[in-house]
Amino acid sequence: MSAAPQTLPPLQAEAMPVEQSQLWLIVRRFARHRLAVVCSALLVLIFLLAGAVRALVPYDATEIEVGNSFAAPFSVSPKDGRTHYLGTDHLGRDYWSRILYAARISLTVAVVSVIGSTAVGAVVGALSGYYGGVLDDILMRFVEFLLTIPTLPILLILSSILLQSPKAVPVPDFVINGLSGFMYISALEARQVVMIMLVLMSLGWLGIARLTRGVVLSLKTMSFVEGARAAGASNTRIILRHMIPNAFAPLVVSASLGLADYVISEAALSFLGFGIQDPTPTWGNMLSFTESYMFEHPWLPLIPGLPIFMCALAFNYVGDGLRDAFDPRSQL
């Protein structure tokens, strides 16, 4: 009698891996960079403090307490009992209040300047790389010429000219009034801030233009561009809908790294007296005023200096993290 045939167990279908979105992959790669995550949290905290400045400060940025200059940190005002958490400056103005108002102004200058520079550089680089030929030669030779000029002297000259003649560049009133309300400063001070933004943007777009041009040169021969052109898309549509969006990742990384440069550049201009002027508080002009008193009060330069240092360092680490996150060769 023959043995009964053995039945094989049914084959179990292998579970297919769950497809993850590109955004989730970028977030996971970024989360692997521990310093970038920590610095992101630090920047979020600084932006929140600057955003809620009115609710966190005991004094106005320009409020002077006569006879109470160079008060020590955590000293109590003899007049109204309010606490000076970081002491007072040479005029008796509260440092904690001014440092948060300065954060709102300095970070606004940096962020707006980066956005403007990135927009201008992306358009110029896309036009240069896409059309090529004579236009590419003219634009890139102009960019290379500007890159050979020392940056700081040009910024000082432009800043001096624009600050002395703030109405030389027409700026719409709604822009001035909007910045004035957002940064809690007068319209005259807001116009001064706009001039500094224009000074920083005047040379800040050059590197972005070269970066975008390189990306566009590698993209314009690809099949999806040829398909869009065959479908009847105009050159403008191809540049705006295909070229610049595909250069988004390197532009974001470059902008995040550029924020540190803009924070330092604004502080340097204000420190040298060619930036935003007192009584409008910025980290740069606050640092400048401590120079004359730092030997008698050595802790004074640390108050505006530490925020500059922390923001510049944090923006650099966040930029490194974004660069790794957008790199498709990065392993999870």
What pLDDT does residue 292 have? 83
Q: Of 203, 200, 205, 207, which is closest to residue 263 (Cα–Cα)?
A: 200
* Terminal C-alpha separation, the chain: 59
Residue ranges of domains in the chain:
32-67+96-326
**Structure token digits, residue 64:** 């002077």
> Cβ distance 194 to 276 under 8 Å?
no
CATH number of 32-67+96-326: 1.10.3720.10
| 3-class secondary structure, 24 | helix
> What one-character-per-residue DSSP string does 265-307 give?
HHHHHHHTTSSSPTTS--HHHHHHHHGGGTTTSTTTTHHHHHH
pLDDT, one tens digit for every residue, the chain (332 residues): 455 555 555 555 455 555 567 778 888 888 888 999 999 999 999 999 999 998 888 888 888 888 888 888 888 888 888 888 898 888 889 999 999 999 999 999 999 999 999 999 999 999 999 998 899 999 999 999 998 888 888 888 888 888 888 777 888 889 999 999 999 888 888 998 999 999 999 889 999 999 999 999 888 888 888 888 888 888 888 888 888 888 888 899 999 989 999 999 999 998 888 888 888 899 999 998 888 888 888 888 889 999 999 999 999 999 999 988 887 665 55
| pLDDT given at position 134 | 92
11's tokens:
């084959």
